[in-house]
Amino acid sequence: MKKVLRMISSFIMFFFLVAFTTTCCMTLFVSTFTETLGITLNGENLDSAAKITFLNVIFLSVIYCVIDAVRRKIRVERPVKRITESAEKITKGDFSVRIEKDSLATDGNFGRIIDCFNQMAQELGSVETLRTDFIANVSHELKTPLAVIQNYGTMLQSPGLPEDKRIEYAKGITCNSRRLASLITNILRLNKLENQQIFPECENYDLSEQLCESLLQFEEIWEQKNIGIETEIEDSIFIKSDKELLGLVWSNLLSNAFKFTDSGGKVSVLLTADNENAIVEITDTGCGFGRETGQHIFEKFYQGDTSHATRGNGLGLALVKRVVDIMQGNISVMSEVGKGSTFKVTLKRGDSVETGKCD
């Protein structure tokens, strides 16, 4: 019914348009023709001309109406239908749908709409994949320490449990509780950073002093594991950055260095600077990783070496990367399996003591 009404309205529109145009043209033509030749038209001739003109107007209106209907069907209704059908699939969760462009039907504005639609579908698909992976990884990371805590808690209830076992199980509960708390803290921090809910406050401060303080926080660990420490830190290297956020960077990088370095290994911290940048390199002699792992090392929950998965939750380096990006710095990594890793962070320098929003 709607199509019939649309065709009728189109016919009426074209009829009046053709009638008006034809009438104007014929009036002008007849007037000019008769004045030029001095011819007088009688009533019979005028009636015959009017009928023929009226029939021509109807015929032309029908032709235009058909042409417009075909044009609308090909150039408007077909792409709109394809876009609508694809949009309905996306609303049902199918983000793999793509609209193929028809050169005849989707040039111009519809072509640009289809390009934007396909890009949107691709982005939504990527986001959905990330969301699914994130939920799966979070569930796994939360489930593991909770299962360990539950098992140790059950064993602690055993009657006649020796003192040494009781202490061992209690330590296991404490260790996994800390791991669980660290996971939740990193998730919250990373979420705030990615959603721009944390606004860095920049100040010029001594990076040399901050690195030394961060390193000393792990003194107990390196003494327990008999890890050698090698430092080459230039004095009074000032940078303009958010001191608290960068503290997370050094804490995570040093934590990983000591975590993955076996007893008797070595961890090195190097700080150099030029006129524009400060460069920090943290090197360990740990297990290292291959090229494939290196390409994904800063992704959330990525753990290339599953044999060491229990030592971390795969969020620390993602947090580090996000902070360094916010500080408009750069981070890179070089590693070799069995020989260790070197993380290199480059940051802009600062000179005077002033605070404010980061640029």
pLDDT tens column, 182-196? 777 767 766 766 666
Q: Report CA torsion sign: 164, 167, 173, 177.
A: negative
Tell me if 237 sits within 8 A of 207, measured CB to CB: yes
Q: Report CA torsion sign: 345, 351, 352, 357.
A: negative
pLDDT score, position 166: 87
pLDDT score, position 45: 55
**pTM confidence score:** 0.53
Instruction: Give 201-357's CATH code, choosing from 3.40.50.300, 1.10.490.10, 3.30.565.10, 3.20.20.70.
Output: 3.30.565.10
Q: Tell me which residue has tokens 């799966």.
A: 136
Domain covering 136-194 in this structure, CATH number = 1.10.287.130
Distance of alpha carbon 108 from alpha carbon 158, whole angstroms: 76
pLDDT score, position 306: 44
pLDDT score, position 259: 86
pLDDT score, position 307: 44
Give CA angle at 40 (38, 44), nearest 5°.
155
Residues of the chain short of pLDDT 50, as ranges, are 104, 306-313, 352-356
Q: Tell me which residue has tokens 């609508």.
A: 84
Tell me if 290 sits within 8 A of 337, measured CB to CB: yes
**Nearby residues of 180 by Cβ (< 8 Å), 6 or more positions away:** 142, 145, 146, 149
Pick from 249, 235, 248, 238: nearest CA to 281: 249
